[in-house]
A and B are shown apart, each in its own frame.
Chain A
Amino acid sequence: MNPIKRLYLALDAWFNLSFGYAWNPLYNLGTLTFFFFWIVLVSGIYLFIFFDSSLSGAYNSVEYLTHEQWYIGGIMRSMHRYASDAAIITIVLHMFREFALDRYRGFRWFSWLTGVPLLWFVITLGITGYWLVWDELAFYVAISSSQLMDGLPLLPGTMSRNFLSEQINDRFFTLMTFLHLLGQPMFLVFALWFHVKRLSDVKVVAPQGLAIGSFFALLVLSIVAPAVSHAPADVSKTPAVLNLDWFYLNVYPLLDFWTAGQVWLLTISVTVLLMLMPWLPIKKRGPAAVVNLDNCNGCEQCVKDCPFDAVSVQKRTDGKRWENEVVVQDDLCASCGICVGSCHSSNPFRQSDKTLISGIDMPNLPVNDIRNQLKVAVSELKESVADGASKIIIFGCDNAIDFKNFKSTNVAIVNFFCAGMISPTLVEYALKLGVDGVFITGCRTGDCYFRHGNKWMDERFEGERKPILRKRADRTRINVFRAAETDCVQLKMALDEFQECIMQLNQQERIAEDKVEG
């Protein structure tokens, strides 16, 4: 395993210990960023009520908010700044996470490609925000931004000179206010919509506990270390020391060493490189799911379950009595097989004497092959296992922990692309064939590689989502273990414990049978 992934998984384990799976911030980086934007929006609206959008009045109005009205205006200002800074951290961590877990290539290329420019949109939004305070830092930002703009062969003349000859007027300042308050945020919302366009069931609301914790943490920081301005902007002064916000203004000091053109070259190169990463190298994806209309009644469960909006519904084309049929959009399909797990016709009890064909199936791992693998595995177990010992089958998710080394004389394995691909009827079928226990592995709770596999499986097993695990299925013989690649020791322990438990169950059953016979 590469060290970046190992580092991420260690961090992930630490947050699971601290917050639990549901509140783990690393599983909620997107929703946390949304939450910080809500804070920025609400605090920004409050600040705008008191903000004087004129060149002469801007600084004083911000000073009034910071000092005269410190108990609310000052806190709002600090929350506005710190939430914006926190959003940069969550965005960067979000990118790091997707990179570390290799979740940026293959079918995920679109989200990555559209996500990279978002970081720059947010940064430019922050830059215009700093401009509005019109203090020494704002003046530095204005001059440096203009120098950067002058480095582009787009505008004639030198924009920076406008600030020296005091040609900046209230109208220009109002334009900047409009840009920060409405123009850029609207553009950002549009870009965000684009970013999540290929996902279904997008989470935008942070878990309550995490949101409350983050809010109070920001509030405490705002009270303890309130955000303050520099001295008012002054054309005749170049302050020796500036307290830059490095989350947003990190590029500007480069202008001390490089020309604007070189700075652009660096930033554009880094951005383009980041955007091209999904193709460096390309990650091959499996074939898309295939619909078999003869076995599909258009129930739409797979449409509801697909995490990437790749399955949609359309009017029936084969003249059968059902109203609709489903159709897979190949370029959106992640080949996760979750649709197979959600299809009622993936039931292995069906067509037991002939080839099992599901309404929707994976060409590279059809349900019929899974059923056959299972049959072979169970018959091998029956042959190899000594009397009294337990026969365990592992249904393993390919993207979670590596379970292949745990194969033994009394443990057989069947692999799936995702835990969500495992139909509940398949678990019942395995028990019916004669295994003593079914041990299912999956990605860490809340961190499914294909987004919803774990969640759908849990809901199916709890009877909340179709197809359900029937009540008569013996749940004491089913164990679900979720872990990452680094959790081999925990897997070994959980498997041993499960085997022990199954042996006790077998013993109890034998005693009960003996009593009945006796």
Chain B
Amino acid sequence: MKKIIQYPLQILNYSVFMGIVWFFSIHPSYHQLDKNQAMITFTMSHIGKHVTKCKKISYKELMKLPPNMRKPMDCPRERSPVEIELMLDSKVVYSRVVQPVGLFKDQGVDIYENIRVSAGKHRFKVWINDDVNVKGPIYRHEQDLTIRPEQHLVIQFKSKENIFSVR
């Protein structure tokens, strides 16, 4: 008698268990973008300019230093922060100042940023400043873009050539 009651209950339990397994294996759907949106990924790996220029050390100053540290030029290692601004139709969609890494701030910056934008025709502008001694953009790029919904557009600043690539 007990078994007669247990079998339907077991089927019910297995059904609920498998229902939970199935549901959460694909539901609820994750909406990465809205219907009419696309993704721009901005990425770069770049070392900013030195904050201070190399300075020639005078003979007198050089003699004050221990013999193993006597270098004719004094070159501080600190690098400039890198400033980036991305604009779409004159509207800033991404703006950031990234400090160089490293204990002495002498390393480069690595940026990987996803930006959601609306699909359609846009005027795209981007500029970078990697020198703390210069005001305003140093490297810049602008172009017209036609972005499809769900398109993944990769904008990369190629540090060796100092150019932007849009793919």
The chain A residues found within 8 Å of chain B, CB to CB, are: 15, 17-20, 25, 81-82, 85-86, 89, 140, 147, 150, 157-158, 160-161, 164-165, 213-214, 216-218, 220-221, 225, 227, 234-247, 253, 256
> Which residues of the other chain, B, contact A25 by a CB distance below 8 angstroms?
13
> Nearest chain A CB to B18's CB is how many angstroms away?
4
> Which residues of the other chain, B, contact A235 by a CB distance below 8 angstroms?
152, 154
B2, B32, B41: the one contacting A164 at CB < 8 Å is B41
Tell me the complex Cα distance, A25–B9, Å: 13
| Sample (13) of A-B pairs whose CB atoms are under 8 Å apart | A89-B21, A140-B32, A158-B110, A164-B43, A213-B14, A236-B167, A238-B33, A240-B149, A240-B150, A241-B30, A242-B29, A242-B32, A243-B29
Report the nearest B residue to A140, measured CB to CB: B32
A20, A81, A157, A216: the one contacting B110 at CB < 8 Å is A157
> Which residues of the other chain, A, contact B13 by a CB distance below 8 angstroms?
15, 18-19, 25
A86 and B17 within 8 A (CB): yes
> Which residues of the other chain, A, contact B28 by a CB distance below 8 angstroms?
246
Tell me the complex Cα distance, A244–B15, Å: 22
Question: B55 in the interface, Cβ–Cβ < 8 Å?
Answer: no
CB-CB contacts below 8 Å: B106-138 with A: 110-112
A157, A220, A243, A253: the one contacting B26 at CB < 8 Å is A243
CB-CB contacts below 8 Å: B1-50 with A: 2, 5-6, 9-10, 12-15, 17-18, 20-22, 24-35, 37-39, 41, 43, 45
Question: B162 in the interface, Cβ–Cβ < 8 Å?
Answer: no
> Which residues of the other chain, A, contact B15 by a CB distance below 8 angstroms?
217
> Which residues of the other chain, B, contact A140 by a CB distance below 8 angstroms?
32
Question: B151 in the interface, Cβ–Cβ < 8 Å?
Answer: yes
B21 and A19 within 8 A (CB): no
Interface of A is mostly: helix
Report the nearest A residue to B9, measured CB to CB: A18
Tell me the complex Cα distance, A241–B150, Å: 10
B14 and A243 within 8 A (CB): no
Tell me the complex Cα distance, A194–B60, Å: 67
A18, A158, A238, A247: the one contacting B25 at CB < 8 Å is A247
> Nearest chain A CB to B54's CB is how many angstroms away?
26
B6, B17, B26, B31: the one contacting A240 at CB < 8 Å is B31
Question: B156 in the interface, Cβ–Cβ < 8 Å?
Answer: yes
The chain B residues found within 8 Å of chain A, CB to CB, are: 2, 5-6, 9-10, 12-15, 17-18, 20-22, 24-35, 37-39, 41, 43, 45, 110-112, 149-152, 154, 156, 167
A240 and B32 within 8 A (CB): yes
Tell me the complex Cα distance, A17–B2, Å: 9
Tell me the complex Cα distance, A501–B86, Å: 87
A245 and B43 within 8 A (CB): no
Q: A237-B150, A237-B151, A237-B152 are in contact. Are A220 and B18 (CB under 8 A)?
A: yes
B5, B12, B18, B150: the one contacting A218 at CB < 8 Å is B18
Tell me the complex Cα distance, A247–B25, Å: 7
B24 and A18 within 8 A (CB): no
A17, A81, A160, A217: the one contacting B18 at CB < 8 Å is A217
> Which residues of the other chain, B, contact A147 by a CB distance below 8 angstroms?
112
Q: What 8 pairs across the A-B complex have the smallest Cβ distances?
A: A18-B9, A238-B39, A217-B14, A243-B26, A238-B152, A240-B33, A221-B18, A246-B24
A240 and B112 within 8 A (CB): no
Report the nearest A residue to B36, measured CB to CB: A240
> Nearest chain B CB to A402's CB is how many angstroms away?
28
B2, B17, B24, B31: the one contacting A217 at CB < 8 Å is B17
A158 and B45 within 8 A (CB): yes
A19, A150, A157, A225: the one contacting B22 at CB < 8 Å is A225
> Nearest chain B CB to A307's CB is how many angstroms away?
28
> Nearest chain A CB to B149's CB is how many angstroms away?
7
> Which residues of the other chain, A, contact B43 by a CB distance below 8 angstroms?
158, 160-161, 164
B6 and A19 within 8 A (CB): yes
Tell me the complex Cα distance, A216–B9, Å: 15
B32 and A239 within 8 A (CB): yes
> Which residues of the other chain, B, contact A221 by a CB distance below 8 angstroms?
18, 21-22
> Which residues of the other chain, B, contact A227 by a CB distance below 8 angstroms?
25
The residue among B2, B12, B154 with the most chain A CB atoms within 10 A of its own CB is B154
- Having A18-B13, A161-B156, A243-B27, one finds 5 other A-B pairs with CB under 8 Å, namely A18-B6, A161-B112, A164-B154, A221-B21, A241-B29
> Which residues of the other chain, A, contact B9 by a CB distance below 8 angstroms?
17-19
Tell me the complex Cα distance, A218–B21, Å: 9
A85 and B151 within 8 A (CB): no
Tell me the complex Cα distance, A220–B15, Å: 10
Report the nearest B residue to A20, measured CB to CB: B6
B150 and A243 within 8 A (CB): no
Tell me the complex Cα distance, A213–B167, Å: 52
A241 and B6 within 8 A (CB): no
The residue among A18, A81, A157, A243 with the most chain B CB atoms within 10 A of its own CB is A18
> Which residues of the other chain, A, contact B150 by a CB distance below 8 angstroms?
237-240
> Which residues of the other chain, A, contact B35 by a CB distance below 8 angstroms?
240
> Nearest chain B CB to A158's CB is how many angstroms away?
5
> Which residues of the other chain, A, contact B110 by a CB distance below 8 angstroms?
150, 157-158
> Which residues of the other chain, A, contact B34 by a CB distance below 8 angstroms?
240
Tell me the complex Cα distance, A140–B29, Å: 14
B45 and A157 within 8 A (CB): yes
A85 and B14 within 8 A (CB): no
